[in-house]
């Protein structure tokens, strides 16, 4: 029995050795084929693709994954390096770093930081331009408004400087430094305006004298002649001095009235000229500056009419204020009857401005009363097409929020 059991084991052992020999032969065959393939590839090697018609391309720079961040600068690291140079008062080096940061990835902060370095070097025009670029990227960036106000003040652009300082204060009313800046620029601007008015009155006086000089002079000579005759004829009268005095006082009043008339005509021409120079605003800041510069209702209406209604949400973004909203509603009322379709389109798109609902909810009682009064007296007229009536009925709850709350 023992001999019978060992025979199969011996057979299996022989079979296993044969299997190992077959595997070894197969491995040797594969190695041989691999060597043959490599030799064939070397014989048929293609020309270097970097050499074309005898011209060798410059080697391409390949960055290793082992390089650290300093070897591969980015916008953020360049800006931070610029900040370090600025702290050390190395403003030129800081400007170079900020410039590289802007080239890699322009941001409002990098532009505003470079503007601050320019201010330190008294390069005010470049500082103003950089602040403008910063505000093009972020029109609510307070530091950019403040720094541009400083640059414009130094450039003598006091009105524009005051507008920037005012907008900065309204965006961040709790910062004392901004309030101080606004007060200083306001004082300078008011002084300039006072000097300008004084000069304007003098110029108006000169213009009046040039325009009416001969006529006035002739009238004075004629009046003096008549007065002299009257004095001569009334030489015996005890009222001689009184007559002369009254005649001269009356003449001075007439001349003063003439000067006021010339000044009034000059002011009217200035208002008309300002209306012609109105341009369509691209931001809330530009709109408010233009709006406040136009004290005439018709000029403000012209400004609103030139703005495509669908652009209002993009213009105001998150910078719409309650006083401006109330002013816009009242202004739309002035041309509602003559251009109803445009007026409704403006009202409809104002609703789409971010934070509109919040602004309406937070209106003071006085402002809400004015809005509702405009709606009752102008926007609720009976003589408008049905389509417009439906649109106004849809918009009324959005503008007359408190009225809606009372109904509910």
Q: What is the 3-state secondary structure (H, E, C) of 344-408?
A: HHHHHHHCCCCCHHHHHHCCCHHHHHHHHHHHHHHHCCCCCCHHHHHHHHHHHHHHCHHHHHHHC
Could you tell me what percent of the chain has a pLDDT over 90?
28
**Average predicted confidence (pLDDT) for the chain:** 76
CA atoms within 13 Å, Cβ hemisphere of 304: 28
CA atoms within 13 Å, Cβ hemisphere of 335: 20
CB atoms within 10 A of CB 245: 10
* Calpha distance 149→115 (Å, rounded): 12
CB atoms within 10 A of CB 284: 20
- Top CATH class, 73-207: mainly alpha
The pTM for the full model equals 0.51
Instruction: Please give the pLDDT value at position 121.
Output: 95
Checking if the pLDDT of 223 tops 90, the result is no
Instruction: Please give the pLDDT value at position 320.
Output: 83
What are 300-340's pLDDT values in tens digits? 888 888 899 999 998 888 778 888 889 999 999 888 888 88
Q: What is the mean pLDDT of residues 208-224?
A: 60
Residue bearing the bigger pLDDT, 165 or 217:
165
Checking if the pLDDT of 256 tops 80, the result is no
Residue bearing the bigger pLDDT, 171 or 260:
171
Between the CA of residue 160 and those of 36, 150, 293, 355, what are the distances in Å? 82, 10, 11, 27
DSSP class of 53: T
- In the chain, where the domains are located: 73-207, 284-399
What are 68-94's pLDDT values in tens digits? 444 567 899 999 999 999 999 999 999
């Amino acid at each position: 029995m023992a001999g019978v059991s060992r025979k199969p084991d011996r057979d299996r052992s022989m079979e296993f050795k044969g299997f190992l020999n077959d595997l070894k032969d197969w491995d040797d065959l594969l190695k041989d084929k691999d060597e043959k393939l490599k030799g064939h590839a070397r014989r048929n090697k293609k020309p270097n693709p970097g050499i074309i018609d005898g011209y060798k391309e410059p080697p391409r720079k390949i960055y290793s994954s082992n390089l650290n961040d300093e070897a591969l600068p980015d916008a953020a690291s360049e800006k931070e390096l610029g900040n370090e140079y600025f702290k050390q008062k190395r403003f030129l080096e800081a400007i170079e770093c900020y410039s590289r940061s802007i080239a890699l990835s322009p941001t409002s902060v990098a532009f505003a930081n470079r503007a601050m370095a320019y201010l330190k070097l008294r390069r005010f025009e470049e500082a103003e331009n950089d602040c403008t670029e910063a505000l093009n990227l972020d029109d609510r960036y307070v530091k950019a408004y403040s720094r541009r106000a400083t640059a414009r003040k130094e450039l003598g652009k006091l009105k524009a400087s005051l507008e920037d300082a005012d907008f900065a204060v309204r965006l961040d009313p709790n910062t004392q430094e901004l309030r101080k800046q606004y007060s200083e620029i306001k004082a300078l601007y008011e002084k300039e305006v006072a000097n300008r008015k004084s000069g304007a009155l003098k110029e108006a006086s000169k213009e009046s004298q040039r325009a009416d000089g001969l006529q006035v002079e002739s009238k004075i000579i004629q009046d003096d002649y008549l007065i002299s005759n009257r004095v001569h004829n009334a030489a015996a009268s005890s009222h001689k001095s009184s007559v002369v005095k009254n005649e001269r006082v009356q003449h001075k009043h007439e001349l003063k009235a003439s000067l006021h008339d010339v000044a009034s005509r000059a002011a009217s021409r200035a208002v008309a000229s300002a209306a012609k120079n109105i341009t369509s605003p691209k931001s809330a800041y530009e709109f408010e500056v233009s709006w406040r510069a136009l004290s005439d209702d018709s000029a403000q209406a012209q400004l609103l009419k030139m703005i495509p209604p669908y652009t209002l949400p993009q213009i105001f973004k998150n910078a719409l204020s309650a006083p401006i909203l109330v002013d816009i509603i009242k202004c739309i009322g002035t041309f509602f009857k003559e251009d109803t379709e445009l007026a409704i389109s403006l009202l409809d798109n104002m609703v789409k401005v971010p934070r509109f609902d919040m602004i309406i909810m937070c209106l003071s009682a006085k402002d809400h009363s004015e809005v509702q009064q405009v709606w009752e007296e102008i926007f609720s007229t009976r003589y408008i097409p049905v389509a417009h009536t439906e649109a106004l009925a849809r918009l009324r709850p959005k503008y007359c929020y408190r009225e809606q709350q009372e109904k509910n």
